[in-house]
Amino acid sequence: MKIQWFPGHMTKALREMEKNIKLIDLVIYVLDARAPKSCLNPQFPEIMGNKPIIYVLNKIDLADDNQTSLWLKHYNAFENSMALPLNSTMTNASKTIISGMEKMLSKKLERNREKGVTMPLRAMVIGVPNCGKSTLINNLCGKYKAITGDRPSVTRATQWVRIAGYLELLDTPGTLWPSFEDDEVAHNLAYINAIKDEVLDPAELVLDFISKMLSTYRELFLARYGLTYSEDMQPVDYLAKVCENRKFMLRGGELDWERGARAILDDFRKGRIGKITLDRL
C-alpha cells in the first residue's frame, strides 16, 4: 500500500515556520517515543538551520522503556541539542522542559540579565501530526490554550502562547512531507495516527502491523488477543482469529475484516497491547 498525505495546510505551515525561525531562540522537536526515527521530517534541518534543539520523546507512557533509554542516548549525543523523555498528559510533567530550555539558553539568559534586558525566550514547537505538541504547550502553561485532539491535524495554524512571563512558545500544525521514500516510515506514522485514517486501508495496513508485532513484540500481541503462535499462520489468519473471537461478523456470516483491523490499530494506539516502540535501536 502506497501511503501519501500532504495537504495544503502543511505547506502553509512549513512556510510559516521558515518565516518565524529568525524570531526564535530554540526548537522543541517533539517525537513520538514509539517512533523516534520515523517522526523525523526531512524538511526540518533546512528550516531549523543551526538553532539549538530539544528533542522531546513524548508519549513515553506508551513506549518500550528500554528503547526509550536507547533513543534518549542517541539524541543526546547530537551537538547543540538535548533529549528529554515526557508524558505530556501528566500534570507539571513539562517542568523538565523549562529547566532544559534554561540550561540550553543559559548564556543568553545571563547576557540579558547583565544588560537588564527582559526579552522573552522564544521556542518553536514542531513535529508530525498528533505527536502531542499542543498538549505539551498546555502542560507548560497550565491552561488549555492550544486545541488538542486524538486525531492528526487538529492544529491548523501557528499560534504564540506565553508561558510564565518570560517564555513564549509557537505552536505549529503537525507537518509531514510530500512523499515517503521508505514504506516502513509511512506505516509507522500510520500506526501512531499521524496520518489521517481516511487515506488508509486499515484491513491492509493491519496485516503489516501484525507481521511487525509477531517479529518484535510477539508475546504481548498474542497475550492481548488470547492467541497461540504457529509457524503455519499468516498475519491474515491472526486477524481472522481476532474477528472470530470478538464476533466481528457482517450480515451473512462473513468476517468484518475492517472492524477487526480498526480494533487492533486502536488497541495499539491506546497502549492496550503494551508498551511498544516501532523504531528499534
Ligand X SMILES: Nc1nc2c(ncn2[C@@H]2O[C@H](COP(=O)(O)OP(=O)(O)OP(=O)(O)O)[C@@H](O)[C@H]2O)c(=O)[nH]1
Residues that bind Mg ion (CB under 5 A): 133-134, 154-155
Binding partner selected for residue 62 from Mg ion, ligand X, none, CB under the kind-specific 5 to 8 Å limit: ligand X
Residue 61's binding partner out of Mg ion, ligand X, none, with CB under 5 to 8 Å set by partner kind: ligand X
Name the amino acid, one letter, at 212.
K
Residue nearest ligand X, Cβ-based: 174
Tell me the C-alpha distance between 24 and 158, whole Å. 14
277 binds ligand X (CB under 6 A): no
Determine, following the binding rule CB under 6 A, whether residue 88 of this chain makes contact with ligand X. yes
Taking the CB of residue 253, how many other CB atoms lie within 10 A of it? 6
In degrees and rounded to multiples of 5, residue 55 shows phi and psi of -85, 115
Contacts of 162 (CB under 8 A, 6+ apart): 120, 141, 168
d(CA 245, CA 228): 13
> SS3 for 158?
coil
Helix pair 133-141, 95-104: axis angle to 10 deg: 90
Asked if 154 is part of the footprint of ligand X (rule: CB under 6 A), the reply reads yes
CA gap 180, 107 in Å, rounded: 39
Binding mask 3-42 for ligand X (x = CB under 6 A): ----------------------------------------
Q: Which of the stretches 44-52, 58-66, 202-210, 272-280 binds ligand X when contact is defined by CB under 6 A? A: 58-66
Q: How many CB atoms lie within 10 A of CB 143?
A: 11
158 binds ligand X (CB under 6 A): no
Determine which residue in the list 39, 54, 83, 131 makes contact with ligand X, applying CB under 6 A.
131
Beta carbon nearer to Mg ion, 24 or 136: 136
Stated length of the chain: 281
Segment interacting with ligand X, rule: CB under 6 A, options 14-22, 53-61, 95-103, 237-245: 53-61
Binding site for ligand X (CB under 6 A): 58-59, 61-62, 87-89, 127, 129-135, 148-150, 152-155, 173-174
